[in-house]
Amino acid sequence: MSAPFGRELELAVFDEEGEHALVFPCIKGRQGWKHAGTGVRVDIRPTHWRYWQPKAMPTDGGKSLGDAC
């Protein structure tokens, strides 16, 4: 896979339940993949990747615009 080294990435993997994205960012290193938050090695073989996009926290307490009054 042509993923860049040293960058936080969102990875997709294929397992017995099918293909899905990991819920945590990973970093590709010389020794394989690591959990970006803990540095712990992750034994995976991703099918594809994209740059990690942190999930934005709502500034309105989670209310939709229609609920704001």
Could you read off the pLDDT of 4-55 as tens digits, one per residue?
A: 999 999 999 998 999 999 999 999 999 999 999 999 999 999 999 999 998 7
Q: Is the pLDDT of residue 68 over 60?
A: no
> What are the extents of the domains in the chain?
1-53
Phi-psi region of 20 (alpha: psi -120 to 50; beta: other; left: phi over 0): beta
Longest dimension (CA), the chain: 53
Amino acid in position 3: A
